[in-house]
Structure 1
Amino acid sequence: MSIALNIEGPSHSPSRRASCRTDAWLQSLVTESMDKDSNQVTEPKVPRVPSEFRKIKENSDCYEPTVVSIGPYHHGKENLEEMEKLKAKMAGQFVKDSIEAAEEMYSKVKELVSDARKCYAEESTRQFDDEKFTQMMFLDGYFIVQVVFKQLQTQKLRKDEFASVTRDLFLLENQLPFQALIPLMRIYVTSGHYSAVERRTSSSKQSWSSERIDQEFKKTVQEDFFKKIHEIPLHRDSCWEKISNFLKSSRSKDTDTDFGLDFYHHLLEFFYFKFVYGKGKHTRESRSNRETTSWNRYYSVNELKNVGISFTPTNTSVFVDVKFRNTLLGGALRIPPLNIEDSTKSLLLNLAAYETCAGLYSAKCTSYICFMRSLIDKPEDVKELRSKGILRTTIGTDDQIAQIFKEMTTNLVPNPSAYRDVKNSVESYYRDTVKRWILQYKDPFSKAVVKYSFIFGIAVSAIQAYLAETKQRPGFGFCSCSNATLLH
């Protein structure tokens, strides 16, 4: 006996048809998810600025180049055309002076065009065929090399144009991947057309290894070019600071790692690891489940100053390296100096955007901006930090500088555990009733000491004067009486 399943019959009911449609929709979600997993696209090495950054109106200009475009994202914009003409002019002179080196550089870019495309968001490169993309990479790469090796100074540019070029080269969307820039730089150096090597050695550059050329390029970038962006103010260390720095350098000598240029994706990332991440082992970090977060109040500069916390500058190159140090009756926040210039806001926000795109959970720069914002609540806070040499401003009033930090922190999300030790120390100090009592009554107590010390001093001086006067009177004292008795 066989049983025939009536599949058609039940399907005619409305509930059955709806169930089939729902099942199909659920199945489509699974299919789409599997397709995305199989065709998963990694984040480009030169990403776009996240939308949450761009939608803040006060900060939108911080991500746009003002004079020069690098790469495909802003290529062809009308306001950048003048610098495109200068790029072509400089490259034309290079071809004229060194045709072999120019042809070698162009051929190298052509070999890398496929890999270079993958470094950008896919939709941004579709308008360029391979030849056009190669030309853009060649001109942009040669231009960066010229800027780093100070050859742009031979062009007749105004001072503000030089500053704008430097500013634009540190925008997240205005980067050239190092995998394309490094080969161009190596050929440029070995061609003998110009190099920083000429200033350091007279040996033949043709015999140099790629690693040695890379080291010289890194030195030039760090010692010359980066100084335009982050110059450490002069600061004389105390004896104790010199000893402390020596001990720290001795302990960290074995853990510091000198990475080659191929470790970095682009110039902005190179700057980040140098001045934000600092020395030590550079890693593409991930979030640690073991990290604990402690919540503390935020205090402004003047609030902390009123309870005895002072502010002192340090001379570390890592400008996010904030420390707290306890003193006998107070405390000190040690903060590296920061130059506030026209490009500072742009630089800090692009570093923060880079952190977000790179997935760096520590968010060192983002957390630093938010921490400084917590200290700067009013113009008086800016004034205090300026007086201590921590903020060095060349633009705007104290009120405008305070406003800049307020605008920068809109929509920024710091790492909750950042500056945990500093915040805990400040909070612990702020709640220390003994120290606060001493500081509260410090002025009345010191006035009383001065007052009664003054009275005591007058009394002692009067007694001393009286004794000195009586010693000079005749017939007074043991010796005079004795002599009178002997005469009788």
Structure 2
Amino acid sequence: MGITEEPQVPSISIGITNLKAKLEKIREAKKNVMNQSQTPKIQKVIFFLREQDDFHKNYEPKVVSLGPIHHGNPNYQLGENYKLLLTYEFIEGSGKNMEDVYNMIKEKIHELRTCFEEEVTKAYDDEALTSILFVDGCAILQYIYCATNKKFKELNIKTDSVAFGQQDLFLLENQLPYRLLTWLMSSSVKKEELSKSIETYIDLHVKVPEDQQSNWLSWRLCQRSKPQQAQRAKEESHDDEEKPQDRTISVAKEPVHLLDHLRTRMLHGQGYIHGGKVGKINQNIQNVQEWQSYRNVQELKTAGIHLKRGKNCYLSEIKFTKQFLFRGQLHLPPIVVDDSTRPKFLNLVAYEMCLDFENDFGVTSYISFLDSLIDEAYDVKKLRKAQILHNFLGSDEEVAKLFNEIGTDLVPNIEIYKEVRSEIQKHYENKWMTWIAQVFHDYFSSPWTFIAFFGALLALALTITQTWYAVNSPPGPCKNLTPK
């Protein structure tokens, strides 16, 4: 009897222990959520994106690994050599001793470690992590400085490595804490130059050249940010404060990392804005329609809605205006589509999906909106003709396929562009406007058809006038004379 009862005692105690542990985990989970930092940590791309077949093409580095996630991969040995060269150049230009800069990073390594998700850095002790962040941080700053001042030739760094390195800078898994870059810049005598080079470099990946035929790559390398552009952007943001689509946003001292900096600039323009939340959108609109029945640009054109290039490149600047009685105008920010577009947007979307990043899904919502307009090559062609989309990728079919693919399985914020979608839908559903627009499209799409119509209308008017005078002409002076 004792033998049969003995094993039952520990089994009950194990059950109690497990139950207590589970309950404690539940309590800890609540505490962890409540105590979660408002600043997102640098981490790996979320799991279901990692399961995609082409994951390595869009989320993994091509040339250089930055930070601890991909460190030590032998595929990036060439990039490691370049990083050491760039680090040497940075220290040489900083006016500081290499050991002093290294020790400065080492003293702050515990704070820097908290900028990463724990899983990412647990394999590295403080010395190893310090070494990684020291080299990679110096290399990033020197790379950006060289890119904005065209100094890669002096270092004998090949053009293809520069181009791929540019894409690698904006991968989610390749990010470094921005405070690390700030500390390194502060340690250099070129602090102001380095800071300006980052702002210029970010601008080069946001702004679009005015001339659609200009060479995009040379423009990227030669363009410089201008003080008046910053002032104009500030004035535009101030002018837009009373618009229905304004968002309430909180201002932070610095970005989380370079990808975060790029996202903010793409959405809002000059200056750094973090923790954006959608405010009272559509506060003056009643019965906003959420359902959209239009499928692409071609259908919008048929309904009398035309495309117009926006005044700036910021993705949040999308609006709809009414023109005359039957014409509508959809204002879209200009965008460049090239080889870097897919990984850039996919990593921005992956960043917005991070569980610890509270945001308004601005980039995700923009891509979803653009995907709702692009169904086939014809839609891309119309966007090109309106100088909204600058195609450096290839054929229009490739661009349409690109946005159809990256727009799949996205969950946008329905509040963003809600008013725009509603106004488009109202115009689209107005049969009278659609009929007039169709008539103008069929009969006045070219100046020759308009001239022919006007000529026919004039001939008809003359014929009617001639007939009226023939019937109703007044009697002549000889009409009352009768022969005697």
1:422 matched to which residue of 2?
A: 420
Please state how far the C-alpha of 1:452 moved relative to its aligned partner. Answer: 2.8
Which one of the candidate residues 201, 205, 208 is aligned to 1:229? 205
Q: SS at the partner of 1:263?
A: coil
1:309 to 305, 317, 328: 305
Separation (CA, whole Å) in 2 of partners of 1:289 and 1:325: 20
- Could you say which residue in structure 2 is the equivalent of 1:201? none
Residue 55 of structure 1 is aligned with which of 51, 54, 61? 51
Alpha-carbon distance between aligned partners in 2 of 1:64 and 1:244, rounded to the nearest angstrom: 34
1:221 partner amino acid: I
1:287-306 to 2 correspondence within 5 Å? 294-306=290-302
Partner of 2:184: 184
SS in 1 for 2:408: coil
Q: Judging changes above 3 Å, is the alpha-carbon distance between structure 1 residues 232 and 98 closer, same or farther for their aligned structure 2 residues?
A: closer
CA shift, 1:244, in A, is 13
State the distance in 1 between where 2:26 and 2:391 align: 51
d(CA) in 1 for partners of 2:171, 2:123: 22
1:48 Cα offset (Å): 1.6
Mapped pair 1:117 → 2:113? yes
Q: CA deviation at 1:18?
A: 11
Which of 334, 339, 356 is the aligned partner of 1:337?
334
Q: What TM-score do the two structures reach when normalised by structure 1?
A: 0.75
Question: What do residues 137-187 of structure 1 show as CA deviations (whole Å, max 9, x unaligned)?
Answer: 111111111122225453222222212111111111111102211111111
- The 3-state SS of whatever aligns with 1:142 is helix
Code of the residue aligned with 1:230 in structure 2: it is V
Corresponding residue of 2:267:
276
Aligned pair 1:346/2:343, yes or no? yes
How do residues 36-435 of structure 1 correspond to structure 2 at under 5 angstroms?
Answer: 36-37=29-30, 45-58=41-54, 60-93=56-89, 100-150=96-146, 151-152=151-152, 154-188=154-188, 190=189, 194=190, 197=193, 217=195, 219-222=196-199, 224-234=200-210, 249-250=238-239, 252=241, 262-278=253-269, 282-285=273-276, 294-328=290-324, 329-357=326-354, 358-435=356-433
- Cα distance 1:179–1:26, how it changes in 2: closer, same or farther (>3 A)? same
Which runs of 5 or more residues in structure 2 are unaligned? Answer: 213-231, 283-287, 445-449, 467-475, 478-484
CA deviations 1:70-94 (Å, max 9, x no partner) are: 1101111122111211222333455
Instruction: Return 380-389 or 19-28, whichever deviates more.
Output: 19-28
Structure 1 contact 285–361 (Cα < 8 Å) conserved: yes
Cα distance, 1:258 vs structure 2? 11
- Calculate the TM-score normalised by the size of structure 2: 0.76
1:104 Cα shift? Answer: 2.7
1:474 matched to which residue of 2? none
- Cα 1:25/1:127, change in 2 over 3 Å: closer
Tell me the SS of whatever aligns to 1:265. coil
Structure 2 equivalent of residue 8 of structure 1: none
**1:178 and 1:265 in contact (8 A); partners too:** yes
Is the contact made by 1:149 and 1:196 (CA closer than 8 Å) also made in structure 2? no
CA displacement at 1:449 relative to structure 2: 4.8
Question: 1:18 and 1:45, CA in 2 relative to 1: closer, same or farther beyond 3 A?
Answer: closer
Q: State the AA in 1 paired with 2:265.
A: K
Q: Secondary structure at the match of 1:428?
A: helix
Partner of 1:204: none
- Aligned match of 1:31: 24
Return the alpha-carbon distance in structure 2 between the equivalents of residues 319 and 66 of structure 1.
Answer: 27
* Equivalent residues of 2:233, 2:270 under 8 A apart: no
Stretches of structure 1 that go unaligned for 5 or more consecutive residues are 1-11, 198-215, 237-242, 462-476, 479-488
How many Å separate the matches in 1 of 2:90 and 2:17?
63
The 3 A distance-change label for structure 1 pair 48 and 455 is same
Q: Deviations over 1:428-481 (max 9, x none)?
A: 0011122122223345696655413135458989xxxxxxxxxxxxxxx99xxx
d(CA) in 2 for partners of 1:111, 1:343: 37
Q: Work out the CA distance in 1 between the residues paired with 2:55 and 2:319.
A: 29
Deviations 1:90-145 (A, max 9, x none): 33455567673423321210111111112222232233222221111111111111
**In structure 1, C-alpha distance between the alignment counterparts of 2:458 and 2:235, rounded to whole Å:** 44
Rounded to whole Å, the distance in 1 between the matches of 2:153 and 2:413 is 41
Partners of 1:170 and 1:347 within 8 A in 2: yes
CA distance in 2, matches of 1:345, 1:115: 33
In structure 1, how many angstroms separate the alpha carbons of the residues matched to 2:290 and 2:361? 17
Question: SS of the residue aligned with 2:134?
Answer: helix
CA displacement, residues 306-363 of structure 1 (integer Å, 9 cap, x when unaligned): 1111111113131342111111121111111110011111111111111121534421
Identity %: 29
Amino acid at match of 2:457: Y
- SS class of match (1:392): strand
Superposition RMSD on alpha carbons, in Å?
Answer: 4.1
- 369-378 or 280-289: bigger deviation: 280-289
Distance 2:236 2:397 in 1: 40
Aligned residue number for residue 451 of structure 1: 456
CA distance in 2, matches of 1:131, 1:55: 33
**Distance in 1 between residues matched to 2:432 and 2:81, nearest whole Å:** 68
CA distance, structure 2, for counterparts of residue 87 and residue 423 of structure 1: 47
For residues 139 and 335 of structure 1, the distance between their equivalents in structure 2, rounded to whole angstroms, comes to 41
Q: Quickly say closer, same or farther: Cα 1:180–1:308, change in 2 above 3 A.
A: same
**CA 320–46 in structure 1, closer or farther in 2 if over 3 Å, else same:** same
Displacement of 1:288: 7.7
| 2:371–2:403 Cα contact (<8 Å) kept | yes
